[in-house]
Structure 1
């Protein structure tokens, strides 16, 4: 009789644990803040393409991830809202680059694509988000 009672108690305990409500993750942890970023150069958008996946929870996957994530957070994930760097002077040389991003920020889909006249203009208008290479080559 005691063995049956012990078995019943164990079964009730397992069922209770199995039906206990799961603890919800904090809202920030449930949201994915990550973007697939590409930069292509040339008029046909296929001359040279570089890309990476930027994760912001925690920042990784990008040579300037912490700075890019900070800029995106300040703009609520809207790349077009990143403030233009005021002290940047770019040449007027036409060397087009297209910056594209797709992914999720704050639970919303992000799709961004814009062609800039050169990489200096892109850097001035998008901050660190599309600074995908660590090359020491100067921007246009």
Structure 2
């Protein structure tokens, strides 16, 4: 005769039902769709969502601005379509977005830190860079960090 402690003896019925419960859950869980979202090329899969934050560094009263940039379809950002196009052209790499030509920024030191975290078509994104001012940030990184809609 086997001896089981009282706590284990009371758990035996639940432990024997566990495989059946796991099989039941596996059968009732909906399957994921095989087709990628509209606008996604065949090699790209997954979502495109980035939490964008722009934080002024020199002001104690300034509040960081944030937005959730969604692509496929664009939304959640003042210039979502333009930001998604910039990201698509750079393959989701923010540091590879080409700088705008013919943009002249004032030489005013008002540093801002740009941060983006999330996923671009299923690949993780975590980007942080500090710029001397907002104009320089937008000139170098396109519409991704242009949260005010200008």
User: TM-score category by the smaller chain?
Assistant: 0.7 to 0.9
The runs of 5 or more residues in structure 2 that have no matched partner are 1-26, 39-44
- RMSD across aligned C-alpha pairs, in angstroms? 2.3
Alignment of 1:1-140 (within 5 A): 24-28=33-37, 31-43=46-58, 47-134=62-149
Whose strand fraction is larger, Structure 1's or Structure 2's? 1
Q: Structure 2-normalised TM-score?
A: 0.69
After superposition, the Cα gap between the structure-2 partners of 1:38 and 1:46, relative to the gap in structure 1 and judged at 3 Å, is: farther
Inter-CA distance 49–27: structure 2 relative to 1 (3 Å threshold): same
Question: Alpha-carbon deviation of 1:51?
Answer: 0.3
Q: Which 5+ residue runs of structure 1 have no aligned equivalent?
A: 1-17, 136-140
Distance of 1:64 and 1:58 partners within structure 2: 13
Q: Specify whether residues 92 and 52 from structure 1 end up closer, same or farther in structure 2 by C-alpha distance, changes over 3 A only.
A: same
Q: Is the Cα–Cα contact under 8 Å of residues 40 and 46 in structure 1 kept in the other structure?
A: no
1:44-99 deviation digits (Å, cap 9, x = unpaired): 78832000100002100011101100110111111110000011011111000111
Partners of 1:102 and 1:110 within 8 A in 2:
yes
In structure 1, C-alpha distance between the alignment counterparts of 2:63 and 2:33, rounded to whole Å: 44
Structure 1 residue 42 displacement after superposition? 2.0
